[in-house]
């Protein structure tokens, strides 16, 4: 196919608009490859209007983990596969696309998926041999296969650091992607400092925020469980929103972070019964809370009526209202486990809300009130399948930070698409 396109270019003059109309219907691999044919075609594929038009063709996908053993080598190796499931397709078996494959090491992870935003994946490097020699957080675009890294905290040898990642987001005024972290520094057995840091794609070193960080008692057994969902905040009106956050205070209120002013604000939480079985999301332009109901046979959706931002969330006209009850489309007699909590709550396209937990994923449309099963998640002959908390939509955008701070990527990490 490549030689035919090159021959057409050499033998015939193709108008740029016609070339764009052809390229927008090709697979992403082909678009990137054809952009190397000549400067004119590279300009077409890099044009913002073309990138935006092509981006609308990428479906919204849910990311799944599959752990399996590979017998392609003399020794059996356990592999971790990252698959993307097209949730926009209303089919009995939605198409599932292999995205990446990497080793699953015993004892510690080769790498872990931290966040997904605008077609970018943030991975935490688990193969660091020398804490001062390797980057901890890597950013990659699986479509363009570009890698970069976020600035790394570098401290003295006698200082221990505990990081709690609180959200990866796009900062509009600067055009940067930023990772917000709660940092606890420990030196010689006593707590020395706590702060918030920003790790940015446009900076060479971490930046400490001026806001005071609330301490966390890491000795509590449930300290990690209390804040195990910080990396999926609901993003609306330029704020990150968490149902449970360190800055929630004694009353355990909801928390919003202003990404421009870089300040925290507390908000009244939704009146859900079990917050550990609930998640925040943005659906159909509204801030919502999804709560997994009794015996996990339904999900309630609460909507914050009249919400225009945390600063306006004080009047009586702002209130949580239960608007939808989503009946789960499958029932079985499997034992209910602690892991049966709501893992995925995300707004999709056209009024769809994606809801997922250990048993599978459903899509509910808040406009039509219809629900459909997307996928069941369980152990199968293909391996142990588990649901991540992330969704993904591919992008052809070639961000400047990939050129300014390139990275070779993880050595055994392989993209499949």
Residue 173 CA to residue 264 CA, distance in Å, equals: 18
Q: Which residue has the tokens 């976020």?
A: 150
Question: 319 in helix, strand or coil?
Answer: strand
Residue 66 CA to residue 391 CA, distance in Å, equals: 16
Residue 180 CA to residue 188 CA, distance in Å, equals: 26
What's this model's pTM, rounded to 2 decimal places? 0.87
Q: Which helix (H) or strand (E) holds 225?
A: helix 223-226
Contact between 83 and 98 under an 8 Å Cβ cutoff? The reply is yes
pLDDT tens digits, one per residue of 264-290: 999 999 999 888 889 999 999 999 999
Each residue of 160-189: b (16+ CB within 10 Å) or e?
eeebbbbbbbebeeeebbbbbbbbbbeeee
Instruction: Give, as one character, the DSSP assignment of residue 406.
Output: B
**pLDDT for position 335:** 45
Q: What average pLDDT does the chain have?
A: 82
**pLDDT for position 184:** 83
**pLDDT for position 120:** 97
Q: Which residues of the chain have pLDDT under 70?
A: 1-14, 36-37, 69-77, 89, 91-93, 106-108, 127-135, 155-159, 187-192, 217-225, 312-316, 330-340, 376-384, 417
Within 13 Å, how many C-alpha atoms sit on residue 394's CB side?
21
Give how far the C-alpha of residue 355 lies from the chain's centroid of Cα atoms, to the nearest Å. Answer: 15
Residue 345 CA to residue 383 CA, distance in Å, equals: 25
Residue 308 CA to residue 321 CA, distance in Å, equals: 16
Work out the percent of the chain whose per-residue pLDDT is above 70.
Answer: 78
Residue 392 CA to residue 50 CA, distance in Å, equals: 20
The dihedrals phi and psi of 375, each to the nearest 5 degrees, come to: -160, 150
**pLDDT for position 91:** 67
CATH class of 58-415: mainly beta
**pLDDT for position 121:** 97
**pLDDT for position 379:** 47
Are β-strands 254-258 and 319-327 bridged in parallel, bridged antiparallel, or unpaired?
unpaired
Contact between 217 and 166 under an 8 Å Cβ cutoff? The reply is no
**pLDDT for position 243:** 94
CA separation (Å) from 94 to 84, 243, 289, 362, 379?
10, 31, 26, 12, 18
- Where along the chain do its domains lie? 1-57, 58-415
Question: 295 in helix, strand or coil?
Answer: helix
């Amino acid at each position: 196919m490549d030689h035919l396109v090159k021959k057409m270019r050499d033998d015939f003059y193709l108008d740029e608009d016609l070339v764009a109309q052809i390229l927008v219907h090709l697979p992403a691999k082909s678009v990137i490859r054809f952009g190397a044919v000549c400067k004119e075609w590279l300009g077409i594929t890099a044009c913002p209007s073309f990138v935006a038009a092509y981006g609308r063709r990428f479906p919204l996908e849910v990311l799944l983990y599959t752990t399996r053993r590979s017998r392609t080598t003399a020794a059996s190796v356990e592999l971790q596969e990252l698959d993307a499931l097209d949730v926009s397709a209303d089919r009995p078996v939605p198409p599932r696309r292999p995205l990446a494959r990497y080793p699953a090491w015993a004892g510690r992870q080769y790498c872990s998926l931290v966040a997904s935003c605008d077609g970018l994946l943030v991975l935490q490097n688990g193969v660091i041999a020398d804490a001062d020699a390797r980057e901890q957080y890597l950013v990659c675009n699986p479509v363009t296969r570009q890698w970069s890294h976020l600035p790394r905290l570098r401290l003295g040898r006698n200082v221990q650091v505990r990081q709690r990642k609180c959200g990866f987001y796009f900062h509009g005024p600067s055009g940067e992607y930023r990772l917000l972290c709660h940092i606890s520094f420990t030196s010689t057995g006593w707590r020395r400092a706590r702060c918030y840091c920003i790790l940015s794609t446009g900076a060479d070193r971490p930046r400490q925020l001026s806001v005071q960080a609330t301490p966390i008692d890491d000795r509590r057994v449930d300290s990690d469980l209390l804040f195990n969902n910080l990396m999926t905040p609901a993003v609306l009106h330029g704020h990150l929103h968490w149902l449970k956050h360190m800055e929630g205070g004694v009353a355990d209120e909801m928390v919003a972070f202003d990404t421009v002013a870089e300040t925290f604000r507390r908000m009244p939480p939704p009146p859900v019964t079990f917050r550990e079985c609930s998640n925040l999301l943005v659906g159909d332009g509204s801030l919502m809370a999804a709560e997994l109901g009794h015996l996990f046979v339904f999900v309630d959706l609460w909507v914050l009526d009249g919400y225009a931002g945390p600063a306006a969330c004080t009047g009586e006209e702002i209130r949580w209202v239960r608007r939808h009850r989503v009946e789960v489309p499958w029932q079985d007699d499997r034992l209910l486990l602690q892991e049966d909590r709501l893992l995925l709550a995300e707004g999709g396209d056209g009024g769809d809300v994606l809801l997922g937990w250990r048993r599978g994923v459903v899509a509910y449309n808040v406009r039509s009130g219809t629900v459909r099963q997307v996928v069941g998640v369980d152990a199968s002959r293909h391996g142990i399948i588990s649901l991540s908390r992330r969704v993904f939509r591919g992008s052809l955008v070639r961000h400047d930070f990939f050129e300014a701070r390139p990275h070779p990527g993880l050595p055994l990490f392989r993209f499949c698409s």
